[in-house]
Each structure stands twice: as C-alpha cells, then as structure tokens.
Amino acid sequence: MTFFADQTDHTASPAAPNYDRSALTTGIVHFGLGNFHRAHQAMYLDRLMERGEALDWAICGVGVMPADVRMRDALAAQNNLYTLVLKHADGTLEPRVIGSIHQYLYAPDDPEKVLATLANPATRIVELTVTEGGYNIDRATGEFDLTNPDIVHDLGTVEHPLTVFGLVVEGLRRRRDAGVEPFTIMSCDNIQGNGHVARQTFGAFAEAKDPELASWITTHVSFPNSMVDRITPVTTEADRSLVTERFAINDQWPVMAEPFVQWVLEDDFTLGRPAYEEVGVQMVSDVEPYELMKLRLLNASHQAMAYFGYLLGHRYAHEAATDPFIVELLRRYMDDEATPTLSPVPGIDLAVYKATLLERFANPEIRDTLARLCQDSSDRIPKWLIPVVRSNIDNGGQTLLSAAIIASWARYAEGVDELGEPIDVVDPLASSLIPLANTYPQNPLGFLQNERVFGDLASHPVVAGQYAEALRVLHEQGAQAALTQQLEHR
C-alpha cells in the first residue's frame, strides 16, 4: 500500500513536507505515540522543520503495549508520514502531511534497539504521552506501585524491559556509564504537575533498582512541567474515507483535530531543545497557573457536560454543548465555582478563554463522543473537579453545581440510562463503582462515600446535601429537571 493514493489528479492533496526527510536524525524519543501527540508535539516540530530548522530533533516513536502494534504497522506502510486534518466549525478542512516522525520502534520486537537509541548521545529529550494510568501510581497510597508484575520483571532485568520505566532508566544507566549526559524527560500528559509526577515515578523505579543511579538521575535529569491542549477525537473509518476522497491520500491512520492548539512548557532542559517559541509554544518558568486553568475550566467542564449530556440523550460533545441548559451549566460552573479558585494566568484573559471553550465544545465537525469524555472518570474527577470543590469549601465558595456534576456521574455509573437502555461504563474502577452507584436509594450517599475517589467529601454536610438532592431529582424526575433545579439557584 502506498501513502499517496494512485490517482491522476492530486490537486486536492496536501503538499508533502518541504524539507529533506532523509536528513532527519533522532533527537527526541516519544513513548505513547498516539493521535494526541501526532496532532500536537509532532505538529509543532513539523512547523520548525518547514522553516528549515530542527532537522536533528526528529522523533523516534516507541510503543510498549500490545495495542501499539497497530501504530507500528500503519506508520511502516507510509514511511512514517500521516495526515493531520483540522476541522473548522464552518466545515472547512485544513489538511497537512506531517513528517517530523522519522522512525517508530515497537519495543517487544527489539528492546535492544530501543535501548541503543535512548543511549545514543544524539537523543536529548524523551517525551511521554502514556496517559494518567501509565505512571503506575497506586490509587490508595499515591505511591509508585512496585508490585506491578511488569515492574517486578523490569527490576530484575536490564536486557528485556517491558515498561517505559525499565527502558528509560536502563537507557540512563548506559549513558551514565559511558559518560554521556542524560536526556530530559518531558511529560506531555494531561496531569497536574506532570513533570513532578514523572520525576516521582521514574525516581521511585530507579531507587528500587539501583539507588546510586537514582541519585544520579535526581541530580542530573530535568523533568519540565507542561500544559497541552487540543481536542483530538478517535480516528474513524469515516475519517479515513474522507482523507482518501477529499485529498487523494490513502492514510491508514490520519488524525482529526480542532483548529485550537496550545502548549505551555517549562523552559528547563538538560541538553537543549528545539526553538519551540518560534512556532507558538509558550515557554515559561512556571506552568502551574496555565495547567490549573485548563484542568478546572476545560477538563472539568468536559465532565460537566458529559454525564448530564448523555442522560439527556445526547451522544456527541457538540450536541451537549449547544443544549441551552448545558451551556448555562457550563457558564455558571466556570464563572461561579472554577474561576474563583484560579490565580491570575500571565498573558491570558480568562473571560476570552472561557468564551473560546464554549465555541470549541460546540464545533460540530469534531464529533467528539460523550462516551469518550465519560470514560476513566475515576481518574479524571479527582484531579479536575474535586480540587475545585475542596478549594471552595476552604474559602467559603460555591459548590452547588460541582456537587450536581458528581451526582450526574453517580447516576451515569449505574449503567442504565433514563430509558432503561444499558450504559457501557468504561472505568478502571467500574467493578466497584457500578455496585456503589446502585446502592441508591437505600444509601443515597453510597457513591460519594467511596474514599478512594472522593476522600472524606461525603462527611462535608453542605456538599453531601447538595449531592443528595441533585441525585434525588435525577432519579425521580430526570436529568432535565435536575439541571433546571440547579440553574434556578443563584
């Protein structure tokens, strides 16, 4: 199969990269190369390369999970090229062929090749988009889980690591032993303090494996924090057909994304970095104000519309984001509950940012599913919404809408919608959450009493009362009535 379709008229096709890809050399190794990375970090690097810069910073993607075989095969069939299509709300399509990824390695095929790439002095940055769960943190303790069987395996071998921790730490050991300076480890995952989390987890693995190496890593390796943002839905067969029909490209795995993109990055690198600031990246000394803005306004708002939207019968984000009741819920949540918990964000007008969020959510071309927004809620709610609740409790702020959002999750987690149709609850804690949600009405606070997710929130009388009332109306009168009741309060 060829990357460009065998058609005589290629006038609609996006141009191939204008730089010499044969001149690319690896400067960045990226673990977890999926749609988001290809619409974000790889796109920024491609912008630099289009300017004739950063050709020695090309990306070598690495997969470690069985699911990564699909990415290996798709990219191998098309010389690691792929199509990024930006979908504007007016239906305009903006295609671009991205060439900044010049190699992809599936670690189980040849772990030694991955280790050699990590140990190569030319590799100066290791990036991560491995999802929140990929950091192997025990939910109960908040510590790195040393009992994970793959981690146990990697602690006992240097030759065939199974995890990103085993591979990266072994790569660092080889660099130290060869007198080569360490690369920077840069998390691009949607986690508050992602650089700190990376430092904690890689440090914990290294400490368990080799305390002297762990000390060297602590002293010499940089872990910059970052905030990343672009809505990037799952690629569908319709997307593949669109790229073939509209742009004459046979692409096994194109990427669809919204036009908006943002990357705020702490400028702390061991061995230098590409000139990201030349192509729109905000290089800063402190990422926290930006990441709290995104987590509490964008990400928590996604959860606000996800469960209520699904219970109301919507299935896509843009449907929910144009429902007048949900729009009002989002506005009120952002203005009354989330914004008061934020510090000033340098260079950002929050009123404009929030208005932009509502426009982004309502983009009908993205077709992001509510099911996607609803999945893995036990990872998302504690990190995005619960901090808003706790901040407002501590400072005498409002919690009514946040409590109602949690109640809507509880109702969704029962696994049956208002018409009696089953809901596929996709969550790592589904086996415990679904039974807890279904203790209603015998125990109205049963779901909220899950301390692993909510801590002691059920013992706070105001929040518990708001939650219980919202959940009662959700059960007795439905999502529409529950939303109406919440929005009547000022």
Distance CA 21, CA 31 (A): 21
The sign of the dihedral angle between the CA atoms of 253, 259, 264, 267 is positive
With CA atoms as reference, report the closest residue to 203 among 120, 137, 273.
137
Residue 2, pLDDT above cutoff 70: no
Side by side, the strands of the sheet bearing 282-284 are 226-229, 262-266, 282-284
pLDDT one-digit tens code per residue, 43-72 = 999 999 999 999 999 999 999 999 999 999
Contact 325, 480 (CB under 8 A): yes
Residue 13, pLDDT above cutoff 90: no
pLDDT one-digit tens code per residue, 261-299 = 999 999 999 999 999 999 999 999 999 999 999 999 999
Residue 415, pLDDT above cutoff 70: yes
Instruction: Give the number of other CB atoms < 10 A from CB of residue 329.
Output: 24
Which domains, and CATH codes, for the chain?
A: 21-284 (3.40.50.720), 288-488 (1.10.1040.10)
Residue type, 10: H
Residue 300, pLDDT above cutoff 70: yes
Mean pLDDT within 379-400: 96
Distance CA 208, CA 375 (A): 33
Q: What is the DSSP letter of 224?
A: -
Residue 9, pLDDT above cutoff 50: no
Residue 76, pLDDT above cutoff 50: yes
Residue 441, pLDDT above cutoff 60: yes
Residue 245, pLDDT above cutoff 60: yes
Mean pLDDT within 386-395: 98
Mean pLDDT within 333-341: 98
Distance CA 194, CA 41 (A): 15
Distance CA 69, CA 71 (A): 5
User: What pLDDT is stored for residue 7 in this prediction?
Assistant: 42
Residue 10, pLDDT above cutoff 80: no
Residue 244, pLDDT above cutoff 70: yes
Q: Where are the alpha helices (DSSP H) in 88-157?
A: 111-119, 149-155
